[in-house]
Amino acid sequence: MAYNNKEVLKDVNGNTIPQYYNPVTDSYEPLEGSGGSTKANSILLDANGTEVVSTQVVQPILDKLDQLTGTVLAEENRKVFEDYDPLKQYYVGNKVAYNNSSYYCIEEPLVGTLPTDTNYWIVMASAGLSQATWEVFL
């Protein structure tokens, strides 16, 4: 039978409850869940009526979440600016101070890779001559 000729489910006070139509049982069934989530035990069909395997739907969503997570992490990495620590893992976007110069991480280095290694770091600001050195040239 069609869903539009079935009575919807109601709570003890006569209010309509969250529900879905299950064509297998030919009836409305309550949505169940906890913490604000819902659970529906039904089959997902595409526009052609073919059953959609959940991984076909879920995997692209998970892939996008991974991409967004990477974006958030990359943004967090750009906020890092600290004195270089040879025991710390650095990531693309991190900034460090080392020997009075500042460096920007362009490739994830192994722990202990000095900021002077141009395969992983670029100089943002190079140390100038110290006052003592400057006086020698006067």
**Structural domain of 26:** 1-42
State pLDDT tens for residues 109-135: 999 999 999 999 999 888 765 554 444
Helix ranges, 1-138 (H) = 54-78, 131-137
Q: How confident is the model at residue 26 (pLDDT cuts 50, 70, 90)?
A: confident
Q: How confident is the model at residue 41 (pLDDT cuts 50, 70, 90)?
A: low
Q: What is the mean pLDDT of residues 29-40?
A: 66
Q: How confident is the model at residue 3 (pLDDT cuts 50, 70, 90)?
A: low
**For the ranges 9-23, 73-87, 96-110, 114-128, which has the lowest average pLDDT?**
73-87
Entry pTM = 0.43
Q: What is the mean pLDDT of residues 55-72?
A: 69
With a CB cutoff of 8 Å and minimum separation 6, the contacts of 117 are 109
Residues 2 and 38 in one domain: yes
Residues 106 and 70 in one domain: no
Q: Provide the CATH number for the domain around residue 120.
A: 2.10.10.20
Residues 94 and 132 in one domain: yes
* Structural domain total, the chain: 3
Q: Is 2 helix (H, G, I), strand (E, B) or coil?
A: coil
Q: How confident is the model at residue 137 (pLDDT cuts 50, 70, 90)?
A: very low
More confident residue, 35 or 96: 96
Mean pLDDT of all residues in the chain?
Answer: 77
Residues 109 and 119 in one domain: yes
Pairing outcome for strands 81-83 and 95-98: parallel
